[in-house]
Homo-oligomer: A and B are copies of this chain.
Amino acid sequence: MRDVAIVGIGSTQFGRAQWSLLKMMCEASHEALADAGAGDRRPDAVYVANMGAPRNNKMAGLASALVDRLNLYPAGAETIENGPASGASAVKHGLHAVASGMCDLVLVCGGERMQEVNNFEATEFVSYLSHRYAEYVYGVTLPALAGLFARLYMERHGVRPEHLAMVAIKNHANGAKNPRAHLRIPVTMEGILTGPDAHNNNPWIADPLRFFDCCPVSDGASAVLLAPAAMAKEFKPTPVRIAGMGQATDTHAVHERPDPTELTAVRLASEQALRMAGLKPKDIHVAELHDAFTILEIAESEEAGFFPKGQGHKALERGETKIGGRLPINPSGGLKARGHPVGNTGVSQIVELVRQLRGEAGDYQVPNDPRNGFAVNFGGFGNNVLATVLTRGV
């Protein structure tokens, strides 16, 4: 098995795109190829991460369409779908292709354009990820599951609404510094929780979760170019090695888990990724976690091994997860502020970590000279999770 490096990255502005899905994906892909200095070298394969195109954009075979628009034939191409974890899954398939020796250069591009559907439809669509007969038919949505999860978790571990707001405040502050973030509006505790207008600014979505506890519905695309680590010096930027990847599934229906506040798949995937990389949680210098809901950033930071169970909100309170803290989490703004173009999110997390490891994150660069980055990409409501460890250099 060959070591695999990321030799190029690209991404669009996130938010409400003026462009088609395919054009966004072209932009991100072109940027990754240009960033690598790939020149005339063409990918052997193109893997697309997308969740909604066959429903929302009336497009199947999106990967073939991207190859066509990029003029990359006869490169092999597929779309990888794993709900909100499609992005990391597509990178994993790229890792396999290069590691096996079947391919040298693989372009992985995530893209989602959600604006074809309104917010109610988006919630319905994302509910396709819930259990068809045990959840979906009863009208369970992902925000509803997150609300139930949050309530139990908060009661058990003494997490208060202020802690959830702290995640939002931190990630909005970070996103405000990220020129490609969807939401660049810093928010305050007074504005979203304690002030006189807080209830108007921040209405209930699924008690105890409010508007600012939920990520936006975003358009966006991101891309990475993978190559064997041994070939990385043939490309322009500082290479970043995919040191470890882990993946785990869990019960589809959340209520079937022995303890519904345990995100077992996050724990197993993280352990597997760290073991493959030969690292411990304390060796990680920067992380992008899947904060589709604020409570998830806290829970994932514990399941990944960064903080003991029930202590994540205290680390947050102490500022350890801010830019400049001991372990900056979501310096890009996370899903909360950078945005959540669903199938693309896992690729964008990896792109943001590469920016940090190369020292190219500008205003949101973490100052601790990070060498090891870590991402959690969370599918369904924790039924299919991937963790990735990236290390600067080959």
How far is A291 from B58 in the complex, measured between Cα atoms in Å? 25
Chain-B contact segment, one of A92-100, A182-190, A204-212, A354-362:
A92-100
Chain A stretch 123-161: residues in CB contact (< 8 A) with chain B: 125-126, 128-129, 131-132, 136
Taking a contact as CB atoms under 8 Å apart, the answer to whether B60 and A83 are in contact is yes
Chain A stretch 111-131: residues in CB contact (< 8 A) with chain B: 125-126, 128-129, 131
A335 on interface, CB distance cutoff 8 Å: no
Q: Which residues on B sit within 8 Å (CB–CB) of A76? A: 92, 247-249, 384, 386
Partner of A77, one of B1, B69, B72, B82: B82
Task: Give the total of A residues in contact with B, Cβ under 8 Å.
Answer: 64
Instruction: Write the residues of chain A forming the contact surface with B, with a CB cutoff of 8 angstroms.
Output: 1, 20, 22, 45, 51-52, 54-55, 58-65, 67-69, 72-83, 86, 89, 92-93, 95-97, 99-102, 125-126, 128-129, 131-132, 136, 247-253, 264-265, 268, 379-380, 383-384, 386
Closest 10 CB pairs of A and B: A76-B247, A100-B100, A74-B248, A68-B252, A61-B83, A99-B100, A64-B384, A96-B96, A60-B128, A79-B81
Q: List 15 A-B contacts (CB under 8 A).
A: A51-B54, A54-B128, A60-B83, A61-B82, A64-B129, A64-B249, A65-B252, A68-B252, A73-B251, A76-B384, A78-B80, A78-B89, A79-B82, A96-B96, A100-B101
